[in-house]
Amino acid sequence: MITNINYNHLYYFWQVSKHGSIAAASKILNLTPQTVSSQITNLEQRLGKPLFVRRGRGLQLTEFGHVTQQYTNDMFAIAHEWLETTQGDTTQYSRTLKVGISDVLPKSLVSKWLAPLINNDRITNLHCIDGQQDELLAQMAIHKLDLVLADKPLDTTLPFKAFCHEIGKSQIALFGNETWHSQLHKQFPQSLNNKPLVLPAKESPVARAIYYWLQEQDIEMTIAGHVDDSALMKSLGEQGFGIFPAPILVRAEVERHYGVNYIGTIDNVYQHYYAFTPDRLIKDSIYDEFIKHAQMT
């Protein structure tokens, strides 16, 4: 196992990889090119692998060099963020906040949760990324995301430490365009027999709960499709491909935005909402304020 890495040497490598040459990095570092070159050579010897190869008069990252560059980008970005916290009152520093948002979450609800972060003077930039929950958590594990919002609790087998906060839940209802509403609303739920249903991902908690509810009600429905993206699922419902589930909490927004109508509520089926924060940020007042606001939304 490699230990006792000289992080000054790693920083020199990072500067050379960013600026493309030892000469350019030397000016930034205020060191001679010979010093920078010898220190990177020492680092390569310590790692047992080359970081650069010569191409003509310049240097080119090796495959291992590219991997190392990605890690150093993250390391020194985190270091810069930490150094900002040393400047005066730690409750007043500004930063970029990177939030991962699961595709299945209703964007109207997410926007309500994020409102305090957008209006927070301590946050200079809010960067939001959509994706699947597992992918977003993987990004958080390598410090590319500060906060993840999703609909499934944290998997305890994950190889990194994070904290899971339940921030709310909503009962699930079924919606459809005017044609489906007129056919199904009055005799709900028996009217659902043999009708098409558009669902979220097959392994999602909501999809599994709806399958179980249909079995309990002895209702046979045709599954028109499974769609990871909640906005696409609603758009398909708007076009009449089938009826679809959505949280009753955002009923007004769904009906207004997609031109669909409420058909009926599914008993004892809920969508739960969670926020995940990494270990290093759990005591940050910004996150504490966010969690409290989201739980009251």
- In this structure, what DSSP letter does residue 105 have? S
Q: Is 130 helix (H, G, I), strand (E, B) or coil?
A: strand
State how beta strands 261-278 and 162-176 pair.
antiparallel
pLDDT of residue 99: 94
- In this structure, what DSSP letter does residue 156 have? T
pLDDT of residue 119: 79
Identify which of 18, 67, 21, 19 has the alpha carbon closest to the alpha carbon of residue 47.
67
pLDDT of residue 254: 93
Q: What is the mean pLDDT of the chain?
A: 87
Give the pLDDT confidence of 149-202 residue by residue, as tens digits: 999 888 777 666 778 889 999 999 999 999 999 999 999 999 999 999 999 988
pLDDT of residue 274: 94
Contact 258, 269 (CB under 8 A): no
pLDDT of residue 293: 81
Give dist(CA 253, CA 173) in Å, integer.
13
pLDDT of residue 199: 95
Question: What does each C-alpha distance from 59 to 8, 17, 25, 34, 52 come to in angstroms?
Answer: 20, 9, 12, 15, 6
pLDDT of residue 130: 92
Q: Is 178 left (phi over 0), alpha (psi -120 to 50) or beta?
A: alpha
- In this structure, what DSSP letter does residue 243 have? B
Contact 162, 274 (CB under 8 A): no
- In this structure, what DSSP letter does residue 155 have? P
Whether omega before 278 lies within 30 degrees of 0, making that bond cis, reads: no
Give every residue of the chain whose pLDDT is below 70, as ranges. 1-3, 81-95, 158-160, 279-284
Q: What is the pTM of this model?
A: 0.66
Contact 147, 99 (CB under 8 A): yes
Give the rounded distance of the alpha carbon of 266 from its chain centre: 28
Give the number of other Cβ atoms within 10 Å of residue 122's Cβ.
Answer: 16
Residue 173 burial (C-beta neighbours within 10 Å; 0-12, 13-18, 19+): buried
Contact 104, 284 (CB under 8 A): no
pLDDT of residue 54: 86
- In this structure, what DSSP letter does residue 240 have? T
Give the pLDDT confidence of 238-261 residue by residue, as tens digits: 999 999 999 999 999 999 999 999
